Amino acid sequence: MTVDSAAPPRQLPPAQSGPSGGLRHAAEQFEALFVGQMLRSVRESASDETDDDSGANSAFLELAEEQLAQAMAARGGLGIATMVMAELGKAK
């Protein structure tokens, strides 16, 4: 796996007008929240083993997790937003 360090991660765009734009934005936000929770869970389980995280280090890691989750969701991430959109699109 390669990481493109030249392109900075982009934030999720603001909600677009119209029902499908708002739905897409909400689905991406949901995916970012879900990925963030997964990353936090991994960090907390790893920190239980080492137990040497300082408060500043923990705050930095939380911020990094949030940014990574936002970047992943903005780029398609795990595909959760797409699946949510597909399921909610059926309900119309």
**Domain that includes residue 35, residue range:** 19-90
Q: How sure is the predictor about 74, in pLDDT bands with cuts at 50, 70 and 90?
A: confident
Query: Has residue 5 been placed in a domain?
Result: no
Task: Note the pLDDT of residue 33.
Answer: 93
Q: For the chain, what is the domain count?
A: 1
The answer to whether residue 81 is domain-embedded is yes
Q: How far apart are CA 82 and CA 89, in angstroms?
A: 10
Residue 14 maps to a domain: no
Q: What is the CA radius of gyration of the chain?
A: 16
pLDDT confidence bin for 92, thresholds 50/70/90: low
**pLDDT in the model for residue 15:** 47
Distance between CA 35 and CA 18 in Å, rounded? Answer: 26
Look at residue 58 and tell me if it is in a domain.
yes
pTM over 0.75: no
